[in-house]
Amino acid sequence: MTDHHSPVIETSGLVKTFGDNRAVDGVDLSVPGGAVYGVLGPNGAGKTTTVKMLATLLRPDGGTARVFGHDVLREPEKVRRRVSMTGQYASLDEDLTGSENLTLLGRLLGYDKRAARERGDELLAAFGLEDAAGRQVKKYSGGMRRRVDIAASLLNIPDLLFLDEPTTGLDPRSRSQVWEIIRTIVATGTTVLLTTQYLEEADQLAGRIAVIDHGRVIAEGTPGELKSSVGAGAVHVRLRDPDRREAARQVLAVALAAEVQLDADPVALTARLSTTGDDRVAAERAASALGELARAGIVVDDFSLGRPSLDEVFLAITGHPADSRDGGATGDAPGTDSPAGRGTGGTTDSGTAHGGRTTERTSA
């Protein structure tokens, strides 16, 4: 289907400005075909703007972008013929039913009325939406909308599918449905460019990930490379007795083979696991550490193992958390070409202030 040797998307120095805001500030991407490529970043990082330029919805202000070798500015029609996009906000006509929406788009793709309807209804059925097909989209739940929206992108099977934050705001069940759909789509040979705020999502689906912040790619690599820059996660412990904290720290330092920090909370400690291994290793170590604490007679009120979050990735790579939007941060981001392995040293330094937040973020 796709030539696996030449990249499906190639951008160089891509720029888009809105007034004073350089939303995309020199993005270089090279997306190989036949897999999911994740673009990971916080709100406002420039993900949507980048995707819109690649899908020919926005004109770049600088740099070049080629999709299947076609320049998005010079040959937008050729690009449009091979791509589909499902935006962050379901791009459906809410007054129409799910079936009518797909029939409408099917006809606009060139199917005759009956074929368009058939294709749309088959897709709705495949997405478990046949019961809702005749209802107006405004009555759909968020997950249903998202699925119809993805179905709309598959009426003509694209060679490249842009999915802009397809699971943001979805409940866990709807999210796993969407993940399953994405896996199926990729398995049939379509390349997927997925933007997400969730490291876990990129990790689950993507073969490669670009981390983007302040309109720049700050790291690129496989999920494994990216995570190894962050460590395996962090163990958070809360003790009954603040006086035992020093003792607990020594126990944990040995059991986890990690540096342990004392949190601002007088009963809390955080150990950042530096192993690059898989999650099971981290879990086993955490379990044995809990045993060691019990053996030492230290009462633990709360114990959790947080997997690396987007925040931690950002801390590791940039030295500032993802949600910090104060100026100057862009300037000191390490070179845009740096692989994910960089900047690991920063993790422990800046980790203290941040340790407490990671658990809830990851499980969201």
Partner 1 sequence: MTTTNTGTGPGTATDTATGGAAGGSGAAGPAGAAGTGVADRPVADPLTELLVNRERPPRPGPVSAPATFGWRAMLKIKHVPEQLADVTVFPIIMTLMFTFLFGGALAGSTTEYLQYLLPGIMVMSVIMTTMYTGVSVNNDIEKGVFDRFRTLAVWRPSPMVGYLLGDAFRYTVASAVILTVGLILGFRPEGGPVGVLAGVGLLVVFCFAFSWIWTMFGLLLRSEKSVMGVSMMVLFPMTFLSNILVDPETMPGWLQGFVDVNPIAHLVAAVRDLMAGHVNTGEITWTLVAGGLIMAVFGTLTMRLYNRK
196 binds partner 1 (CB under 8 A): no
* Nearest residue (CB) to partner 1, 179 versus 303: 179
Residue 113: CB minimum distance to partner 1, A: 9
| C-alpha span between 37 and 16 (Å, rounded) | 21
H or E segment to which residue 21 belongs: strand 21-31
Answer for which of 77, 326, 332, 349 binds partner 1 (CB under 8 A) is 77
Among 36, 45, 102, 152, binds partner 1 (CB under 8 A): 152
Spatial distance between the Cα atoms of 88 and 105, rounded to a whole number of angstroms: 18
CB 332 within 8 A of CB 326: no
Q: Is 360 in the site for partner 1 (CB under 8 A)?
A: no
11 binds partner 1 (CB under 8 A): no
Q: Does 169 bind partner 1 (CB under 8 A)?
A: no
Contact 252, 293 (CB under 8 A): yes
Distance CA 153, CA 135 (A): 20
Instruction: Work out whether strand 191-196 and strand 160-164 pair parallel, antiparallel, or are unpaired.
Output: parallel
Q: What are phi and psi of 285, to 5 degrees?
A: -60, -45
The one segment of 38-46, 153-161, 266-274, 329-337 that binds partner 1 by CB under 8 A: 153-161
**For partner 1, which residue of 184, 288, 324, 363 counts as binding (CB under 8 A)?**
184
Q: Is 154 in the site for partner 1 (CB under 8 A)?
A: yes
Rounded to whole angstroms, the Cα distance separating 133 from 182 reads 21
Longest Cα separation, the chain: 76
Beta bridge partners of 233: 273
Q: Which residues lie across from 261 on neighbouring strands? A: 270
Q: Which of 89, 142, 321, 341 binds partner 1 (CB under 8 A)?
A: 89
Total residues in contact with partner 1, by rule CB under 8 A: 56
Binder of partner 1 out of 81, 114, 139, 295 (CB under 8 A): 81
User: If binding is defined by CB under 8 A, does position 180 make contact with partner 1?
Assistant: yes
Judged by the rule CB under 8 A, the positions of this chain that interact with partner 1 are 1, 52, 55-59, 77, 80-81, 83-85, 87, 89-97, 100, 104-105, 107-112, 115, 119, 122-123, 125-128, 136, 152, 154, 156-157, 176-177, 180-181, 183-185, 187-190
